[in-house]
Amino acid sequence: MIVYLVRHGESVSCAADMFQKDEDGLSEKGKKQVESLAKEIISLPIDSFYSSPFKRAKETAEIISRSIRKPFEVWDILFEARSPKEIMGESFDDPDVRKIRKLIKDNYHKGNWKYSDEETFEELNLRGKEIIENFSNKPEKETVLCVSHAGIIKMIVTLMVFGDLLTPEIYWSFKYHMHSDHAGLTICKYTPNHGWWVNSWNKTIHL
pLDDT digits (tens, 9 = 90+) for 103-126: 999 999 999 999 999 999 999 999
pLDDT of residue 205: 77
From the list 160, 156, 99, the residue with the least C-alpha distance to 125 is 156
pLDDT of residue 207: 67
pLDDT of residue 80: 97
Q: How confident is the model at residue 78 (pLDDT cuts 50, 70, 90)?
A: very high
Q: pTM of the full predicted structure?
A: 0.95
Tell me if 26 sits within 8 A of 38, measured CB to CB: no
From the list 153, 165, 126, the residue with the least C-alpha distance to 8 is 153
Strand partners, 186: 5
Over residues 87-114, mean pLDDT? 95
From the list 162, 168, 127, 170, the residue with the least C-alpha distance to 148 is 127
